[in-house]
Structure 1
Amino acid sequence: MKKRRKQAFKLTPWRSQLRITSRTVLTALVLLIIGGLYLAVNARVARSGRNVLIRQSERAELQRQIAELTATFAELTTPERMLERALALGFRPAELGDIEYIVVAGYVSADPFIAPKPPNSTTERDGGLSPAYTETLGDWISRLTSPVREGRQ
């Protein structure tokens, strides 16, 4: 059987050439497909990167516009400019006789804010800790030796 196969290849050398050529073409085709996929993915990544750069530049431009509008708004709402505009529109400062207070039935005002008192140096610093944690070594030794001294006297 082996002899017959060898003889067939010797008689038809185009079969081995066809096999080598088909393997080469198949390898080239696989490499082309992989290269095409690689290019497609890279093109998509490049497009996304470019979109990110565009959005970042748009964001920077919007932030610049916001800062510019904030500065313009701050300039327009200065107390001096507001007073000028109010006087130009016919408003005038209120006097005591112009102010009327209205009592609304059922309205309960909010409790006024009372700030907490700051800690002072006269308060104890123990903070509610057990004496075992606040006692010094000297206090502990004197506490242990004091009943002995009282017993001797």
Structure 2
Amino acid sequence: MMARQTREQLKRLNALTEAQAALGWGVILVLAALLGTIYVSQASRIASVGRRVQILQNELTELKRQNNDLERDIAAAQALDRLQAEAIRLGFVEAEPGDIEYIIVPDYPVEVVETDPLEIVPTVTAVPPPAETVREAIWLYLSDRFSDFIRGEAREQ
């Protein structure tokens, strides 16, 4: 009777061990399938992002080429001989000294430099008065910089 119980316990133990082994292998297979799916998914995403980057790089190269072509066309359109020919075609003529009218602006500070008796070249020499206080100096500096910013100009330091 004892041998019979021992045999039954051994059978149950063997069945339990086989079930545990099957369950363990099942868990391992599920985890392997899950990891494989994640790996394939990530590899697919990386490949599609790489392809998108390649497409964008090709577009950038094409846009740079088109930009260079446009810059070349602009340079050709701004050539002096072409501009002179277009001006003549439109009816422009070179101005003679008698054709030029000068407008005099009252109280505009200029320094007149005479190089030729027939030609007077005005040179602007407007110099603001020096600031009397530090606060005024800072205000003049900032307002000058801000007005340059509004006009879209930049000064080199």
* TM class, shorter-length: 0.5 to 0.7
Number of the residue aligned with 2:25: 24
* 1:3-152 to 2 correspondences below 5 Å: 7-11=8-12, 13-105=14-106, 107=108, 109=124
Mapped partners of 1:63, 1:14: distance in 2: 73
The alignment-based identity, stated in percent, is 30
Q: Is the 8 A contact 1:9 1:16 kept in 2?
A: no
Counterpart amino acid of residue 79 in structure 2? T
Alpha-carbon offset, residue 38 of structure 1: 1.3
Alpha-carbon offset, residue 56 of structure 1: 0.8
Structure with higher RCO (Cα < 8 A, 6+ apart)? 2
Q: What RMSD, in angstroms, separates the aligned Cα atoms of the two structures?
A: 2.5
Could you list the structure 1 runs, at least 4 aligned residues long, displaced by more than 4 angstroms after superposition.
4-7
Task: Give deviations 1:114-148, integer Å, cap 9, x for gaps.
Answer: xxxxxxxxxxxxxxxxxxxxxxxxxxxxxxxxxxx
Whichever structure has more strand as a proportion of its residues is: 2
Q: Is the 8 A contact 1:9 1:15 kept in 2?
A: no
Distance 1:62 1:24, change over 3 A: same
TM-score (norm 2): 0.60
Segments of 5+ residues of structure 1 without an aligned counterpart are 112-153
Segments of 5+ residues of structure 2 without an aligned counterpart are 110-123, 127-157
- Would you say how many aligned residue pairs link Structure 1 and Structure 2? 109
Distance 1:5 1:66, change over 3 A: farther
Mapped partners of 1:31, 1:66: distance in 2: 52
